[in-house]
A and B are shown apart, each in its own frame.
Chain A
């Protein structure tokens, strides 16, 4: 028995995991693109070699196998920061990448054609642009996990960032592939309705000229009363001046956001959760009435 125990202890010394693979055997991707026009096309840019030639296959497992064979390394997508999708591709392959291949849930999902984007990608600047826009209150927070969760809702629509001339914009991508681009005004409204952060300075147009205002914090309270949905945006500025101007502006932005979202038959502000928690079974064609209010403190 003692011999058996010693043998087992010695056997465990061989299981350190350091003997078989080196770092050069791995392919660490920075950005991944998916397109499903007929066949699944898989685009990657890794930290060492840059852009890799795209591969085609019928499943994620097959394209990964081909990618590994082509680039001579075992692919690791856990550090991927950007996933590029177009209307041809549903989020199902992305779901497989998240749950089975270790894709980060915080990975940004960009709405763009991968074949065009991966011709000359500038991932670092795109990722930083999206992150800084989110921090500075120019773009509401989106990521892979949020997009997947929205896509699995009854309205089957996810909110994704899209590259525009200056700051990124927003699109509502439906599961069937068609997308609706939100106006800049509605995009800002989405920020207030979805975001629960703040701490940025915004500039307001007043009759006295342009004035800066620090947004310390913002949150949204949701409730359902008498069959109507109430969204109450509370913004804390820590100052009394300009509050009314801000309130009017945010109200208009939120109204635009809700109007464009409902026109596109989408839900990216948690309507389904609110209905389900109130004991109502949501249906895709049900009429929705949303009451908006804004308080600036």
Chain B
């Protein structure tokens, strides 16, 4: 894979994360604002070992230990499957591009197959364009929601603090992509990853803020606050903003799935060069099958329990090994001299 720019890395990770945020259920408590903020800080700390690893460590390791590569492929398959499962569970009918959730998922999977065929670099290049459309839609959402905002509903609370940290982590599957993608960034990779983490937390807090202030008690009726907000936020009197939300909704899902497919393709290609051609369609099929049979809560649990191993334990153990090797190397050079 060719190198990508740091802002492209931020955009692609953020868009994948934003998909998860819009599909978070039960996000409307005052205590969740502080929980999300705390989760963001923990995630910044968790990313430190991945960012401290030498460039190319991941490629070297998966070529040496194929089981490691398979572990990551399985994880990205679960993340992709969770995306489709969220699409089936969360999406209101008016935000789907086709009638019937299965039809919509198959059409999106076909699009993802097409977009992932150009490789991760092409996806990364498209990410800032999608990001700009997303920001415009977000501004429209804010404009509509601000008219209804009642700031007196905001209060400092600690209830739901720990559950919200857990929810935030279980919907942060793209964190595992940080290690793989940061290898391909030319420079300022730490700044790019931190920007993504802060932007995602800010987006989540923004949705929480408007869910509480603008949604009021209506947010409790529908399990998914973002979709309630899109129903409530119609800032233009003579024109509905649904088309913009449909566009963003579909594009976020495509970016999320394309990232997972692209990563699987990238890992498979490095492990078995022959797998390059067929890894994308096969992975999309293997995302759709578990998504059909498992609820997103089950897949989110899988992500939550495997995430610490993939983003913290493995990179940390490798970093310690690299550190020990460098000490031995220094001692050896010192002895020779």
Chain A contact residues, CB within 8 Å of chain B: 1, 5, 8-9, 11-12, 15, 78-79, 95, 98-100, 102, 104-106, 145-146, 148-149, 152-153, 222, 270, 273-274, 277-278
Contacts and interface: CB of A to CB of B under 8 A. Distances in A.
User: Mostly helix, strand, loop or mixed at chain A's interface?
Assistant: helix
A144 B116 CA distance: 43
B114 A105 contact: no
Interface stretch (B147-155, B252-260, B312-320): B147-155
B234 A99 contact: no
B244 to A, nearest CB: 14
Contacts of B328: none
Contacts of A12: 110-111, 114
Interface of B: 30, 92-94, 107, 110-111, 113-114, 117, 148, 150, 152-155, 215-218, 220-222, 228, 231-234, 237-238, 240, 242, 277
Given A100-B92, A102-B240, A273-B150, A145 B232 contact: yes
Given A8-B110, A98-B231, A149 B152 contact: no
Contacts of A278: 155
Nearest to B117: A5
Contacts of B222: 99
17 contacts: A8-B110, A8-B114, A11-B110, A95-B221, A98-B231, A99-B228, A99-B231, A105-B234, A106-B234, A145-B148, A149-B217, A149-B218, A270-B153, A273-B150, A273-B153, A277-B30, A277-B155
Given A104-B240, A152-B218, 20 more contacts: A8-B110, A8-B114, A11-B110, A12-B114, A78-B242, A95-B221, A98-B231, A99-B92, A99-B221, A99-B222, A102-B240, A105-B148, A105-B232, A145-B148, A145-B218, A149-B215, A149-B216, A152-B221, A222-B152, A270-B153
B40 to A, nearest CB: 24
B114 A270 contact: no
Contacts of A9: 114
A1 B277 contact: yes
Contacts of B93: 100
Contacts of A95: 221
A100 B96 CA distance: 12
Contacts of A11: 110
B116 to A, nearest CB: 11
Contacts of B113: 8
Contacts of A222: 152
A12 B110 CA distance: 9
Nearest to B233: A105
A90 B48 CA distance: 55
Contacts of B117: 5
A148 B155 contact: no
Nearest to B227: A99
A163 B113 CA distance: 57
| 7 tightest A-B CB contacts, nearest first | A277-B155, A149-B216, A152-B217, A105-B232, A149-B217, A222-B152, A273-B153
Contacts of A273: 150, 152-153, 216
A95 B152 CA distance: 25
Contact of B153 (A100, A105, A152, A277): A277
